[in-house]
């Protein structure tokens, strides 16, 4: 679908003018993961797109490559990439993770598959994926402007103020329609927060995170099994590791900021070494640069942002982390942002480009879902750092997998609904998950399933329960 010919004119070099005929149809703030994918979707519809990014172009020679940081990509994100034909390119370089491997303090490991055979998530490079999407956006005709930091948004005059790298004075740019894909600390959201009847909350976890590395073994092979997400659950904190194609693992230590132990108590090199020796001994032997990295790499915070409405009139909209930043424990922040883009695209068809309907309906449709995944992500921190070390919890997960095998159309475990079923909205997954919890509590009381796992007695108890089981949502 092509927008009207006036608004799709490509002679929009003179963006510093209020003459809306020469302005691009969409101005996007932030060329991160969500902004870059949105630019591709909008260009495929023929809209003119200009995108402003505060960082330098990461694709240029000499650009700071940064550390190798990865993300878990799953079905919701893949579905959105598929619509613009980049899913296979991205997955080719991704590392499939079929389950999670838990490491105890004595080095004993336990494995739990993520789903059924063939269901897995992918560890992908954050930088690589962002660059792929930026390049695709450019190939499709979007104009990317780097080293342009938006310092202020002025909706009444449809104008953004930008600070350009190496230039002392700020300049301004007019826009026709502005979408804030500028992440958890969005400049557009900053403006909305000061406007009437805008609800906003942010809450920080008492934990922060620090990225560390497990390099390849001396023969160049992976130091841990590469088809797993590895977890060292330690009750109130944890470390995880995801594989990279270069045979390294990126580890993330999620650790309290304060107290003992915490980032503030653990600063001395010998204390750091000693702590890892006590808590993560099997990882420590694989981390020759641990102390250097621990001291050098930043400690970052973890925030949940909720707000509403996400639009201002029919020409300002928030999307991705700018609208709903969540903590990373379900591996869904980016996947959810990519789902935003797909839903927005569907609404353009449903409302035939009537932005007066599309912008409010987008937020109305998405908010219940992004609130649900925010809650699920927080709950999953407790599951990952604590429960996965509990044999009772692991038994429960095995039983759920068995129920799913026997009743595939009536019971899908919560993790699978969230991760492998884009057709189930997050808020429905959350409701069904709560009902499953109640049902499982009852089943667990009916027998000694550690001893009788897989016996006819267990299957009969499940069958009896399923006679009355009704998720009802
Ligand atoms: C430790 C950690 C692990 C995670 N793991 C996963 C995972 O496994 N799976 C998953 O799905 N999600 C994960 N996430 C979440 C994921 O990173 C985010 O949800 C995702 O990056 C959101 O994309 P975005 O484009 O909305 O925002 P961002 O990726 O933050 O992009 C925003 C862009 O806007 C630019 N920008 C910001 N302000 C301005 C400004 N004023 N002017 C111009 N440009 C600006 C930024 O430079 C950036 O490029 C993780 C997050 C964290 C913190």
Model confidence pLDDT, tens digit, residues 243-266: 999 999 999 999 999 999 999 999
| The pLDDT of residue 62 | 65
| The pLDDT of residue 11 | 31
CB of 179 closer than 6 A to ligand 1?
no
Q: Is a pLDDT exceeding 60 seen at residue 6?
A: no
Choosing from 27, 32, 152 the residue with most ligand 1 atoms within 8 A of its CB, the one to mutate for a pocket test is 32
Ligand 1 atom with the shortest distance to the CA of 186: 38
> Across the beta sheet with 171-174, what order do the strands follow?
148-154, 159-164, 171-174
**Closest C-alpha to ligand 1, atom 19:** 333
**pLDDT digit string, tens, across residues 110-122:** 999 999 999 999 9
Given a contact cutoff of 8 angstroms between Cβ atoms, the answer to whether 177 and 26 are in contact is: yes
DSSP 228-287: EEEEEE-SS-EEEEEE-TTS-EEEEEEEESSSSSSTTT--SHHHHHHHHHHH-HHHHTT-
Choosing from 35, 70, 333 the residue with most ligand 1 atoms within 8 A of its CB, the one to mutate for a pocket test is 333
Q: For residue 269, how far is its CA from the centre of ligand 1 (angstroms)?
A: 31
| The pLDDT of residue 19 | 64
| The pLDDT of residue 67 | 64
| The pLDDT of residue 469 | 86
**pLDDT digit string, tens, across residues 206-227:** 999 999 999 999 999 999 999 9
**pLDDT digit string, tens, across residues 158-169:** 999 999 877 777
**Closest C-alpha to ligand 1, atom 4:** 328
Q: Is a pLDDT exceeding 50 seen at residue 9?
A: no
Q: Is a pLDDT exceeding 50 seen at residue 8?
A: no
- C-alpha closest to that of 80 among 113, 44, 27, 30: 44
Q: For residue 248, how far is its CA from the centre of ligand 1 (angstroms)?
A: 22
Please name the residue that has the structure tokens 């089943």: 443
Q: Residue 218, exposed/middle/buried by CB under 10 A (0-12, 13-18, 19+)? A: exposed
**Partners of 251 in beta bridges:** 212, 241
| The pLDDT of residue 65 | 56
Tell me the mean pLDDT in the region 354-366.
98
**pLDDT digit string, tens, across residues 431-467:** 999 999 999 999 999 999 999 999 999 999 999 999 9
Q: For residue 404, how far is its CA from the centre of ligand 1 (angstroms)?
A: 34
CB of 380 closer than 6 A to ligand 1?
no
pLDDT tier, 424 (very low <50, low <70, confident <90, very high otherwise):
very high
Residues 103 and 109: their CA atoms lie apart, in Å, by 5
Given a contact cutoff of 8 angstroms between Cβ atoms, the answer to whether 256 and 236 are in contact is: yes
Eight-class DSSP state of 298: P
- C-alpha closest to that of 249 among 105, 147, 103, 368: 103
**pLDDT digit string, tens, across residues 49-83:** 999 999 999 999 766 555 669 999 999 999 999 99
pLDDT tier, 13 (very low <50, low <70, confident <90, very high otherwise):
very low
**Closest C-alpha to ligand 1, atom 1:** 328
Domain ranges of the chain: 20-63+128-201+303-378, 204-301, 390-468
Q: For residue 171, how far is its CA from the centre of ligand 1 (angstroms)?
A: 25
Using CA atoms, how far residue 375 sits from 159, 171, 320, 390, in Å, is 35, 40, 16, 22
Which helix (H) or strand (E) element contains residue 203? Answer: strand 199-214
CB of 418 closer than 6 A to ligand 1?
no
**Closest C-alpha to ligand 1, atom 21:** 334
**pLDDT digit string, tens, across residues 266-300:** 999 999 999 999 999 999 999 999 999 999 999 99
CB of 348 closer than 6 A to ligand 1?
no
| The pLDDT of residue 168 | 73
CB of 320 closer than 6 A to ligand 1?
yes
pLDDT tier, 108 (very low <50, low <70, confident <90, very high otherwise):
very high
| The pLDDT of residue 388 | 87
Q: For residue 281, how far is its CA from the centre of ligand 1 (angstroms)?
A: 32
**Closest C-alpha to ligand 1, atom 35:** 30
CB of 150 closer than 6 A to ligand 1?
yes
**Partners of 162 in beta bridges:** 150, 171
**pLDDT digit string, tens, across residues 362-397:** 999 999 999 999 999 999 999 999 888 889 999 999
| The pLDDT of residue 21 | 74
CATH number of 20-63+128-201+303-378: 3.50.50.60
- Provide the percentage of residues in the chain whose pLDDT is more than 90: 89
């Amino acid at each position: 679908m092509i927008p009207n010919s006036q608004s799709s004119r490509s002679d929009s070099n003179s963006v510093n003018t209020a003459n809306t005929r020469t302005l691009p149809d969409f101005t996007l703030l932030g060329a991160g993961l969500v902004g870059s994918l949105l630019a591709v979707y909008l260009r495929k519809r023929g809209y003119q797109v200009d995108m402003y990014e505060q960082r330098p172009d990461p694709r240029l020679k000499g650009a700071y490559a940064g550390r190798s940081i990865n993300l878990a990509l799953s079905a919701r994100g893949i579905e959105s990439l598929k619509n613009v034909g980049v899913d296979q390119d991205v997955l080719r370089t991704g590392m499939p993770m079929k389950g999670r491997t838990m490491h105890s303090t004595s080095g004993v490991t336990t494995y739990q598959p993520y789903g059924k055979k063939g269901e897995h998530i992918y560890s992908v490079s954050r930088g690589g994926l962002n660059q792929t999407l930026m390049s695709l956006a450019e190939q499709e005709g979007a104009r990317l402007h780097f080293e342009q930091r938006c310092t202020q948004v002025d909706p009444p005059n449809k104008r953004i103020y930008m600070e350009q790298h190496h230039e002392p004075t700020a300049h301004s740019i007019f826009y026709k329609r502005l979408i804030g894909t500028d992440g958890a600390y969005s400049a557009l959201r900053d403006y909305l927060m000061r406007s009437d009847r805008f609800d906003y909350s942010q809450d920080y976890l008492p934990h922060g995170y620090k990225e560390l590395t497990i390099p390849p073994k001396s023969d160049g092979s992976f130091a841990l099994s590469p088809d797993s997400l590895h977890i060292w659950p330690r009750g109130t904190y944890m470390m995880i590791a995801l594989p990279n194609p270069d045979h390294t693992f990126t580890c993330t230590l999620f650790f309290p900021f304060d107290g003992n132990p915490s980032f503030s108590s653990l600063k001395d090199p010998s204390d750091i070494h000693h702590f890892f020796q006590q808590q993560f001994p099997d990882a420590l032997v694989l981390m020759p640069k641990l102390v250097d990295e621990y001291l050098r790499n930043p400690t970052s915070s973890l925030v949940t942002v909720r707000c509403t409405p996400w639009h201002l009139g029919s020409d300002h909209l928030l999307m991705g982390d700018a609208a709903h930043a969540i903590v990373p424990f379900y591996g869904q922040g980016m996947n959810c942002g990519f789902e935003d883009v797909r839903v927005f695209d569907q609404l353009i068809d449903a409302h035939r480009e009537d932005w007066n309907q599309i912008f409010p309906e987008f937020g109305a449709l998405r908010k219940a879902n992004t609130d649900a995944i925010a809650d699920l992500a927080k709950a999953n921190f407790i599951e990952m750092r604590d429960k996965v070390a509990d044999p009772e919890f692991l038994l429960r997960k095995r039983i759920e997998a068995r129920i799913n095998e026997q009743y595939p159309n009536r019971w899908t475990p919560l993790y699978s609904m969230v991760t492998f079923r884009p057709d189930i909205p997050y808020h429905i997954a959350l409701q069904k998950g709560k009902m499953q919890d109640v049902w499982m509590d009852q089943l667990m009381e009916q027998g000694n399933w550690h001893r009788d796992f897989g016996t006819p007695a267990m299957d009969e108890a499940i069958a009896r329960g399923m006679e009355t089981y009704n998720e009802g949502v």
